[in-house]
Amino acid sequence: MCGRFTLTTPPEEIARVFDLDAVPEFAPRYNVAPTQDVATLQARAPGGRELRMRRWGLVPHWAKDLRIGARLINARCETVAEKPSFRDAFRRRRCLVPADGFYEWAVAGRGPRQPHHIRRPDRGPFAIAGLHERWRAEDGSRLETCTLVTVPANGRLAPLHDRMPAILPPEHWDSWLDPDAQDAAKLLPLLVPRPDAELEFTPVSRRVNRPQFDDPGCLAPPPPEGTG
């Protein structure tokens, strides 16, 4: 499961890395949580990519209640092509979710679980495979939502959690975003764990446990053991 992530990279760098026509406008995020708006990237006709903000927690177009989205923040790669909540979006509405880190929690003795921040060694941004949907309420209003695809954890992260986000390398971005690509046999092989050497993790403050905190303090080292 991926339930929190970060995107602190400057917008200018996001535009460069993901080859966007315009520099997006958003503030650094140190504790992105479900049901909040997140940046997503999709293919733009006649070419290129565009950034759109969407609520994290996918609401299928057929849902009667948008609250289902709180339970659909992740889609497992093993079932994403068949599960009713995700299969339509998997075929037709795929996106990328830019991030520069994500959090997982490890058991720490008798106390609360210890959060860790996982990132690239160079601290650069990366792209998580996502799906998006447009839900229409009875009053005609529309809501854009998304979910993050997960894969089994690689060997380095397995001690923390058995799942990790499906991080796509740049050479696979266009294939994932291609709206004409609907063959699961070609898309599913893109969803694999990243090699151990591409990610590292460090323990951070339990401040990140509370969504109302979204500041650099979330990435601070935890206090020394026994000091609270």
Question: Which residues are identified as catalytic?
Answer: 2, 104
Q: What are the angstrom distances between the C-alpha of 110 and each of 27, 93, 103, 104, 106?
A: 37, 43, 20, 18, 12
Other residues' Cβ atoms within 10 Å of the Cβ of residue 9: 20
213: helix, strand or coil? coil
Helix H or strand E segment including 89 = helix 87-92
Report the C-alpha gap between 55 and 48 in whole angstroms: 23
Report the C-alpha gap between 49 and 65 in whole angstroms: 31
Residues 20-26: contacts with CB under 8 Å, at least 24 apart:
20/48, 20/49, 20/50, 20/51, 21/48, 21/50, 24/51, 26/53
Q: Which pair of structure tokens corresponds to residue 208? A: 């990140």
Report the C-alpha gap between 25 and 90 in whole angstroms: 28
Q: How far apart are the first and last CA of the chain?
A: 27
